[in-house]
Amino acid sequence: MNQFMKNLLFFLFLLTSLNGISQDKSIKVEPMNWWVGMKNPNLQLVIQGDQIKTAQVKSPKAGLSIIQVHQADSPNYLFVDVRIEKSAKVGIYPIQLFQHGKLIASISYALQAREPGSSSRESYSAKDVIYLITPDRFANGDPSNDVHPSMMEKEINRSNIYSRHGGDIQGIIDRLDYLKKMGYTAIWNMPLLENDQKVQSYHGYSITNHYQIDPRFGSNEKFKELCEEAKKRGIKVISDIVLNHIGSGHHWMKDLPFKNWINHGTQFVSTNHRRESQQDPHSSKADLKSQVDGWFVPSMPDLNQNNPFLAKYIIQNTIWWIEYAGLGGLRIDTYPYSEKKFSNAWTMAVAQEYPNMNMVGEEWSLNPIIPSYWQKGKINPDGYRSGLPSLMDFPLQNAIQEALNEPESWNQGLMKIYSVISSDIVYADPYNLVIFLDNHDMSRFYTQVKEDNDLFKMGLSLICTLRGIPQIYYGTELNFANPKSNEHGEIRKDFLGGWPGDAQDAVSGKQLKAQEKNTQEYLAKLLNWRKGNEAVTQGKMMHFAPKNGIYTYFRYTEKSKVMVIVNKNAHESLIDPTWYREILPAQAKLKDVMSGQISNLGNSIKVAPKSALIVEVL
């Protein structure tokens, strides 16, 4: 066989493998394909088609066995348990549907080969810095997909903060070199899956198709290209996972597979947002049920994760995207709104296939005890053992903004950071928490510190050197702010230079203001230094209680040591180094990370007003 024919056959195999092709085009199967060599050989296929409830399902080819067929409440779904035998080879496996002895559909189901090292892939860690992106507001790399005829929301209007603006996956790909140059090693995109909603579909959290990238962002193939191009540059791609709810425009809402597929049917009943009820020893069952079963908002129907078929669907969907796209990590939206039993089943299933996969959950509580409950390794009084490796550190985020804004006193100012870090005792692994100054749901940090450039830089210094995995929201390097309101649409403003004709461009530097360029350069230098510093990326932390407007901490390993001194005072401060003698040798030399200047320790350490001094201890 010549090379042309080999290439042609390979192309045709890939084409069929992505679509679960059937003779009857009205038949749909999910997942569309799977892989040989997975640790769990069992798979549940969801077959959807008109009046197929009574169909018999057969798999005539050895290697893919039908174990059991489950009828749904709807006449238009079948849930088929299959097993991929150890003898299964890469290839196409026909799945046949019969009614009254007559073949009504034949699905060409593809089993593919896994990428080498897929199960042992590296995930994000404290060695990384994560760049959070709102894709619709980042960059429009392909204007041809701005409007899609099949989607309900067709308007592109950059002057409307809640309309779609046209950002897409190609725009992110085009700026990967910029992100690498800045020093970011991971990107977390807000959800990219289809959101076919009438309004406000731009944010991505109202999913209407779990196996399809929104066509206004690109395609499944384009997303896979993003992951591959990012990997070439040493950048991991983190997917934003929504386990708790779907969008009201999801096709399920017109034809529920089971009557209990959605909590409260198709009627909106709000959650009480009492997340504490998940672990509160005094919580009523009524409060817990309202928290877990209630809808987040009217446009986001709440999934009933107690339905075993739904639970398996969501679990398999996550694994499919990890394997298909080559994901480097997961972020889970609204984590404490899900059923505890399901959450554990989901994390355990992912970890079974990908033992190194890091997963960070959103738990927006300011008391460290609450998020710590959900971290893997935590021994809780009620016996609950979570499988979630990481949490978003909302307590620290709140502490930093309060610390920098409040006047100094015995229980205010920098003491807030000290207090939260001191509470790390409640976490199983505080070094694996994701730390941040702001995100897509809160005011920009530059706004939080009232656009004070000195405080802003102090915050950047803290987030890049404290324990944990730093996450920085796109545009932070350009002093993005939301001065007019706290509306999400304003917070998620367009990235500079992401659209043809933009007056300013972050990548080329065109027309950037002096302060924007200064921050961009400062952060790039800090992030690129961080990548190569063992103490900050892998070391332990020791801190000293704040006094007189000074907060000092060290990051250290056996080979490396970094000292950070935060001076909130409006005047230059001279610090007595003998206070730190247990970790700072008298004969030490100090290398200023930003200036590169090396000096002997001496009798005092000079710290400029309203600044953070970061030095390597040599």
* Nearest-5° Cα angle at 563, 181 to 616: 55
Q: For strands 130-133 and 469-473, give the pairing.
A: parallel
* 362, 393, 477, 616: the active-site residue: 362
Catalytic residue among 333, 393, 516, 616: 333
438 catalytic? Reply is: no
Encoding tokens for residue 18?
Answer: 């992505």
Taking a C-beta distance cutoff of 8 angstroms, is the pair 67, 83 a contact? Answer: yes
Residue 501 Cα distances to 133, 504, 520, angstroms: 21, 9, 22
> Residue 30: what are its φ and ψ, rounded to 5°?
-135, 140
3-state secondary structure of 359: strand
Task: Write out the DSSP string of 345-392.
Answer: HHHHHHHHH-TT--EEE----SSTHHHHTTBTT---TT-----B-EEB
- Between CA 459 and CA 469 the distance in angstroms is 15
Q: Which neighbouring-strand residues pair with 102? A: 99
Q: How many CA atoms lie within 13 A of 193 on its CB side?
A: 22
DSSP of 71-127: E-SSTTEEEEEEEE-TT--SEEEEEEEEETTEEEEEEEEEEEPPPTT-TT-----TT
CA dihedral 303, 307, 308, 313 (to 10 degrees): -30
Separation of alpha carbons 132 and 233, rounded Å: 17
Contact 378, 384 (CB under 8 A): no
Question: Could you give the C-alpha distances from 481 to 36, 234, 399, 443, 553, in angstroms and in order?
Answer: 48, 29, 20, 8, 29
As a whole number of Å, the CA-based R_g of the chain is 26
Tell me, yes or no, if 402 is annotated catalytic: no
Q: Which residues are catalytic?
A: 333, 362
